[in-house]
């Protein structure tokens, strides 16, 4: 496998794990289920952790896969060298 491909796999794997974790957190933090009520209450709960509301929760949840992907890519590059 080429080096560039390995880097992409690391970044995609990290982003996928971050996305799954974000969805799981929203589902667990809110009302049971992933319907409208569960998602909005989950996002509001996540946002309230930092003193915000549902919009803040959405921003935090959307940022999680980006951060996880960047972290996985960075760790791969660090340990590769």
Whether 77 maps to a domain, the answer reads yes
Q: What is the pLDDT along the chain (81 residues), one digit of tens a residue?
A: 788 898 899 999 999 999 999 999 999 998 988 899 999 999 999 999 999 999 999 999 999 999 999 999 999 999 987
Residue 11 lies in a domain: no
pLDDT score for 80: 84
Q: Please answer whether residues 64 and 18 qualify as being in contact, where contact means their C-beta atoms are separated by less than 8 angstroms.
A: yes
- Specify if 40 maps to a domain: yes
Domain enclosing residue 41, as ranges: 34-81
Res 47: pLDDT = 96
Q: Is residue 1 part of a domain?
A: no
The per-residue pLDDT for 29 is 92
pTM above 0.85, yes or no: no
Residue 21 included in any domain: no
The answer to the question of residue 25 being in a domain is no
Query: Rounded to whole angstroms, how far apart are CA atoms 66 and 73?
Result: 11
């Amino acid at each position: 496998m080429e080096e560039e491909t390995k880097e992409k796999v690391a970044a995609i794997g990290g982003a996928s794990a971050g996305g799954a974790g974000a969805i799981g957190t929203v589902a667990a933090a809110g009302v049971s289920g992933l319907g409208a009520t569960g998602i909005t209450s989950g996002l509001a709960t996540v946002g309230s952790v930092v003193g915000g509301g549902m919009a803040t929760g959405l921003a935090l949840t959307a940022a999680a896969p980006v951060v996880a992907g960047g972290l996985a890519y960075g760790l791969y590059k660090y340990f590769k060298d």
